[in-house]
Structure 1
Amino acid sequence: MARHKRQALEAEHHPEAIRRRLNGGSGGQSLPDAILGGIDGCVTTFAVVSGAFGAGFSATVALVLGFANLLADGFSMAISNYEAIKAQREHVDGVRRDEHHHIDVIPDGEREEIRQIFLAKGFSGAILERVVETICSDRELWVETMLREEHGLQTEGLSPLRSGLVTFAAFLAVGAMPLVPYAVPGLATDTQFLASLGLAGLMFFLIGMGKSLVYHQPVLASGVRTLLMGGAAAGLAYLTGHLAQALFGVSM
């Protein structure tokens, strides 16, 4: 096993593999958006189902409330993510314009910033001066280096439209799963809820496993942790619905 892992690592770090990976763009940026949308979609929908079941609502009411929340909350979340990424990109563009202006007005000061940045990384002497000269000879490289090194900004993969659409699609796809049993005619209410519970638990677990691909966490632990968090949200919704039914006589 250790030998196979080493061989896989060596293959990933072959010069050609490294070149392909670095030039491959930011396709992986969509995965966090999908995970975010999927988790929130499943929590939102199953919370509605749990609350409806706890309050004694009929399957039809649970289905209507679930789909209404699925569409409304999914759209709201997609718009929120779109605006957040758009604001982030506008901030990066603003800082980029400032850096271009600084290079025009005080190029020696900006060159010294590059020198200080790479001095802190351990470069010195002739090598440091060669690095500074190489970077500052390319204006775009100069500015992008300042964005990353001085301001700590991400300059690639910021697509508001893609983030919004991926979030919305994941929200709908995963969030619809707990509603599937309520769309099946002839099932008893308890059976519908238990089936919905099972599907929601499976979604939480799978999403948690997917998170491990992004954040490099242990797969099983990540799945269980997300399952527990989703279960806690559903339990709170069920308790709220049950208390509402007991206190206010809300039922259908």
Structure 2
Amino acid sequence: MGRIDDAREAFLKKDSQTVLSAHTEKAIHQAIHHEEKHLTSFNLPEIILGGQDGLVNVLGVILGVAAATSSSQIVIVAGLAATFAESISMAAVAYTSKLAEADYYQSEYEREKWEIDHVPTGEKEEIRALYENYGFRGKILEEIIERLTTDKKIWLKVMMEQELKLEPVDRKKILPIAVLVGVSALLGSLIPLLPFFFLSVKPAIIFSLLATAITLFGVGYYKAKKTLGRQLLRQGIEMMVIGMASAMVGYFVGSLFKIPQLP
């Protein structure tokens, strides 16, 4: 783990010794030069996005089909179709959204660069306004403006991060992130579907619901542990209830259009 990860863990555990070691002069200066790695190494949001979406959506589909028919084969076929469609769709959405984010950042970067070249006075005034909001005035403010605008790379970085609140997107990581989301969706989708390979429809529904509920609770619990460090049970129950409520819509829709058994 890096310095930011150590500091995060120390905060969650309220470990004052570890947080001090993460804030030594050496640790801070080493980390600043590798800031981007720390910002992009935490993939929990992508895993939860894909896994939860696949889990809940496919559960809704197979419950709807299971409520409408007593054929495990039909449920499995529908579930597999939904599983692969869901995983591919989630990966594609993750890829295109990240790509759009990268393109938007690049277009704004080019615009800011052009404005610095053509209207430097106005861009300096924007720096002044930004740092006035931080409480700087007078000579200190003018020195900050002078130092920041001497180097165009630093100037651009300040404008992108502090004025536009934009972070660069590493295009090399867009595809791996999309694959991670897709694989997470695939694995999540298989959890509610597996019981139907081994059991008849009615008991499979029960085991599918139990497996999904336990998984959702575990994901919520783990997410709270890694991010909040508290309210673990509450977060687990909350994710479980929301996910199960969403999936149950499929069951009720299937019940409304139940297919009668053939003689």
Judge same fold: TM > 0.5, yes or no.
yes
Match of 1:88 in 2: 101
SS at match of 2:135: coil
Match of 2:203 in 1: 191
Kindly provide the amino acid, as one letter, of the partner of residue 15 in structure 2. Answer: K
Q: How does 1:187-226 map to 2 (within 5 A)?
A: 187-212=199-224, 216=228, 218-226=231-239
Match of 2:70 in 1: 57
Q: Does 1:152 align with 2:165?
A: yes
Match of 1:181 in 2: 195
Q: Does 1:237 align with 2:250?
A: yes
Cα contact 1:51–1:237 (8 A) shared by 2? yes
Kindly provide the amino acid, as one letter, of the partner of residue 171 in structure 1. Answer: A
Aligned with residue 184 of structure 2, among 170, 175, 186 = 170
Match of 1:70 in 2: 83
CA distance in 2, matches of 1:222, 1:41: 19
Aligned with residue 161 of structure 1, among 158, 162, 175 = 175
Shift of 1:181: 1.5
Kindly provide the amino acid, as one letter, of the partner of residue 168 in structure 1. Answer: G
Kindly provide the amino acid, as one letter, of the partner of residue 215 in structure 2. Answer: M
Aligned with residue 115 of structure 2, among 98, 102, 117 = 102
The 1:9/1:145 distance shift into structure 2, 3 A limit, reads same
Shift of 1:157: 5.2
Cα contact 2:101–2:169 (8 A) shared by 1? no
Kindly provide the amino acid, as one letter, of the partner of residue 57 in structure 1. Answer: S
Deviations 1:194-238 (A, max 9, x none): 221111112211222243257536322221111001110222111
TM-score under structure 1 length normalisation = 0.87
SS at match of 1:176: helix
Q: Which runs of 5+ in 1 are unaligned?
A: none
Kindly provide the amino acid, as one letter, of the partner of residue 167 in structure 1. Answer: V
The 1:121/1:251 distance shift into structure 2, 3 A limit, reads farther
Match of 1:11 in 2: 21
Kindly provide the amino acid, as one letter, of the partner of residue 32 in structure 1. Answer: P
Q: What's the C-alpha RMSD, in Å, of the aligned pairs? A: 2.4
Match of 1:112 in 2: 125
CA distance in 1, matches of 2:250, 2:200: 21
TM-score under structure 2 length normalisation = 0.84
Kindly provide the amino acid, as one letter, of the partner of residue 219 in structure 2. Answer: I
Match of 1:137 in 2: 150
Kindly provide the amino acid, as one letter, of the partner of residue 223 in structure 1. Answer: G
The 1:162/1:148 distance shift into structure 2, 3 A limit, reads same
SS at match of 2:15: helix
Q: Which runs of 5+ in 2 are unaligned?
A: 1-10
Deviations 1:104-150 (A, max 9, x none): 11112212211221121112223222222221122111112101211
Aligned residue-pair number: 246
